[in-house]
Amino acid sequence: KPHNKPRLEIQDDKPQRSLSYPNTSQPTAQQTPFQQPTQLISFSYNPSRELEFTDSALRYFVDPPLGAKLGYGYERWVRRPEQRGRLDGLVQAFSKARSRDTSSLDDVGVVAWRGVMTKILTSPYEEKEGWELNVMFVNGTMYFEEHLSESRLKEKNDMEPRHRLQSYYGYAFESYCTSDSPTRQMVSSNPSNPMGWGGDVDTNVQWCSVVRTKLGSTRLVIGGEVDCVREKYTHQTDTFVELKTSLAIRGPHDEAKFERKLLKFYFQSFLLGVPEILVGFRTPSGVVTTIQSFKTIQIPRLVRGKPGAWDPLVCLDWGNRFLSFLKDVVKREVAQHDAPTLVWRVKFAPKAGVTVDILDPGGVQDVEAGEDRVGFLPKWYWDELHP
Ligand code: A3P
Ligand code: MG
Ligand code: MG
C-alpha cells in the first residue's frame, strides 16, 4: 500500500491539461449513448430583446413559394449586434424549470447553449476554425460560455457586405417558411410584400427551447433557438423544424461540400431533438430553386461511404471523452485552489486538440459597466445556488 502513494502524487504534480485530436479514420469502438432530448421549458425574446416565458415568438411552418427572392426586405432587416455568448437567458430558464421540477434536475453535469455543444461535438472533423470556451464549475455542474475575442466580435459585426447579404438570405428564408399562426394565411396582410412573405426580419426575436438529455453518463441541459414547428406545438420536440439554406448543388464537388455541411446541420438539430431539417437550395443571387426535407436521424446514413463522409459515433465518443476530461480537470483544480469562482479557458485548435487553463481573474470576464457577475454567471444566479 505505501507504494501507491507517491505515484498518485506524481500524477497530481503533472495533471493532464490537454486532450489530443481524435483519429477520425479509425472506427470508434465506443458506442456512446445519447438520450432522446425532452423539453424542460421554452421562452421567447421579444423585439426589445427582453426574455419572456411565453411562446410569443413561436412560428409555424408553411411551404415557401418556389422562386422566392431571399434578398427581399434586406434594407429593413433589424439586426441584433453580435454579443458574447452569455448564459443569462439560459440560466434564467434553467432556474425557472428547476423551481417547477427538482426531481430530474439535481445532477446536471453541463449547462450550455446548443451552438457551443455543436462546436464541441463536431470538432473531430473541423479542419479550419478553432473555438474557445469559458468554463465554470459550480455545485458539480459545468457552465460553458463561448469566448469570442474582441477581434472576432468585431469581425462578426463588421461583416463584409456580400457575406452579410448571404447571412440575410437565411433569415429571409425563415420568413417565407413561417407564419405566426398554425393556419396558413393565403393573402399577405401587406399587398406590397411578395407572395408567402412572413414578415420583415428582426433577429432580436427568437423562440428558444431548453431540453435535458444525456451524453454517456453526463446529464446535459441545452438551450437553443428553434425556427418553427410543423402544424402544432406539443410542448415537446417532435414537431420542431430547423430551416436552412444552401447553394444549389451543381456537381460532385458541391455535393461533397454539402455532405460535410450536413454534419453541422445534423448535430445542431440532434442536440435539441429536432427531427426535421428543411433545406432551401438557392442560386448565388438568392433565389430558392428547390426544397428538400431531411429526417435528422437519417442523415448519417445518407453520407456514409460518400466523399464527404463523417461518422456521428466519432463525435459522440469524442464529446464524451471531452466532458469527462474537463470535469476531471476542473474538479481537481477547484479543490486544490478552494476557489469556486474560478474560470477556465478551453481552447480547441483543429488537428491538435484542446487545452485547459485557469484564467487570470483580472483578465477574465470582460464585465461591462453595470453588470453584476460572479465569473461570467449573473450574480443573482450565483446567489440562488449559494443560499
Ligand atoms: P442558413 O443556415 O440558412 O444560412 P440557423 O440556421 O442556425 O437557424 O441560423 C439562421 C441564419 O443565421 C442562417 O441561415 C445564417 O444566414 C445566419 N447565420 C447563422 N450562423 C451564422 C454565422 N456563423 N455566420 C453568418 N451567418 C450565420
Ligand atoms: Mg435558427
Ligand atoms: Mg435555421
12-45: pLDDT as tens digits: 445 678 999 887 876 665 799 999 999 999 999 9
Residues with Cβ within 6 A of ligand 1? 167, 170-171, 173, 227, 244-245
What was the pLDDT predicted at 376? Answer: 95
Which pLDDT does position 15 carry in this prediction? 61
- How many CB atoms sit inside 10 A of residue 329's CB? 22
Helix (H, G, I), strand (E, B) or coil at 44: strand
Average pLDDT on 209-215 reads 98
Q: How far is the CA of 15 from the centre of ligand 3 (A)?
A: 41
Cell of 116: 457551443
The pLDDT of 347-360, averaged and rounded, is 93
| φ, ψ of residue 220 in degrees (nearest 5) | -120, 140
pLDDT at 4: 36
Q: Which helix (H) or strand (E) holds 297?
A: none
E strand or H helix that includes residue 290: strand 288-295
User: For residue 166, which atom of ligand 1 is closest to its CA?
Assistant: 16
Residue 82 confidence (pLDDT) above 90: no
Mean pLDDT of 359-366: 66
| Positive/negative CA dihedral, 382, 384, 385, 387 | positive
**For 42-51, what is the mean pLDDT?**
98
Asked if residue 308 has pLDDT above 80, the reply is no
Q: What is the pTM of this model?
A: 0.94
Cα separation, 65 vs 166, in Å, equals: 19
Ligand 3 mean position to 243 CA, how many Å? 4
Nearest CA to ligand 1 atom 19: 167
> Cβ(19)–Cβ(321) under 8 Å?
yes
Q: Could you tell me what percentage of the chain is helix, strand and coil, using 3-state DSSP and rounding each to the nearest 5? A: 35, 25, 40
Q: What are phi and psi of 157, to 5 degrees?
A: -80, -30
Angstrom distances, CA of residue 79 to CA of 66, 202, 367: 26, 6, 23
- Rounded CA separation 342/111 (Å): 16
Across 168-182, 184-198, 214-228, 344-358, least confident range: 184-198
Distance of alpha carbon 147 from alpha carbon 131, whole angstroms: 8
Alpha carbon dihedral 268, 272, 276, 279, in 10-degree steps, equals: -30
| pLDDT tens, residue by residue, 104-159 | 788 999 999 999 999 999 999 999 999 999 999 999 999 999 999 888 889 989 99
**Are residues 185 and 178 in contact, defined by beta-carbon separation less than 8 angstroms?**
no
State yes or no: pLDDT of 11 exceeds 50.
no
Which pLDDT band holds residue 387 (cuts at 50, 70, 90)? Answer: confident
pLDDT at 163 over 70: yes
* Tens digit of each residue's pLDDT (9 = 90 or more) over 112-124: 999 999 999 999 9
Q: Looking at per-residue confidence, does 272 or 25 come out higher?
A: 272
State in Å: Cα 342 to ligand 1 middle: 33
pLDDT score for 368 = 73
Categorize the per-residue pLDDT at 348 as very low, low, confident or very high, splitting at 50, 70 and 90.
very high
Q: Which residue puts its alpha carbon closest to atom 27 of ligand 1? A: 167
For β-strands 228-229 and 141-146, DSSP reports them as unpaired
Nearest CA to ligand 1 atom 20: 167
Average pLDDT, the chain: 91
Please tell me which residue, 317 or 104, carries the higher pLDDT value.
317
Pocket test residue of 244, 266, 267, 270 for ligand 1, highest count of atoms within 8 A of CB: 244
Q: Which ligand is nearest to the CA of 227?
A: 2
- Which has the closest alpha carbon to 49: 86, 89, 77? 89
With cut-offs at 50, 70 and 90, classify the pLDDT of residue 362.
low
Closest-CA residue to 210 (of 375, 123, 100) = 100
Residue of 164, 171, 225 best suited for mutating to test ligand 1, as the one with most atoms within 8 Å of CB: 171
ipTM score of the complex?
0.95
